[in-house]
Amino acid sequence: MSYELRSIGTVQHSTDGCTIILDPEYADALVLLDRFSHVYVVWWAHKHDTEESRAYRQTEPPYAPGKTHGIFATRAEYRPNPIAMTVCELLAVDVAGGAIRIRNIDAVDATPVVDIKPYYPVCDRVRNARVPEWLSDWPAWFPDEGFGLD
């Protein structure tokens, strides 16, 4: 079975930060997005859209040396479908210009964006979440200063 995904815009990195530039037909889809502090950006890891990258079933992530993970136990961009998502701080929304400024996306410049969804704490945060021991020293919350990904 196959599905058709359409890019709605692209990630644009500059010295001023990161902006998602939407295709003009989607600009009005940004109405009232500015009421949210964070968004999920769903993006296509286009640099890993190869048969080789799609064939990965296991990997050793850089944060867990010596541990082989099934690809679904990672957030790696090489996977059967190179779909990725990042929770980003929403800095500004320009409906007329069809753009949003964000902080802390881990996508490279010119990455195709597939969707943008608002972050709802009631739906997107869970109590007593569990992570494996190799992630136990990571912070419980995203640092206010970010991770410097932009």
Burial class (CB in 10 A: 0-12, 13-18, 19+), 142: middle
CATH of domain 9-135: 2.40.30.70
Q: Is the pLDDT confidence value at 149 over 90?
A: no
Q: What is the three-class DSSP state of 59?
A: strand
Per-residue pLDDT at 90 exceeds 90: yes
The pair of structure tokens assigned to 112 is 């195709």
Helix (H) or strand (E) holding 17, with range, is strand 17-22
What is the tens place of the pLDDT at every residue in 38-81? 999 999 999 999 999 999 999 998 888 899 999 999 999 999 99
Domain boundaries, the chain: 9-135
Mean pLDDT of 127-140: 84
How close are the terminal C-alpha atoms of the chain, in Å?
Answer: 36
- Global pTM reads 0.90
Residues 6+ apart with CB under 8 A from 57: 70, 71
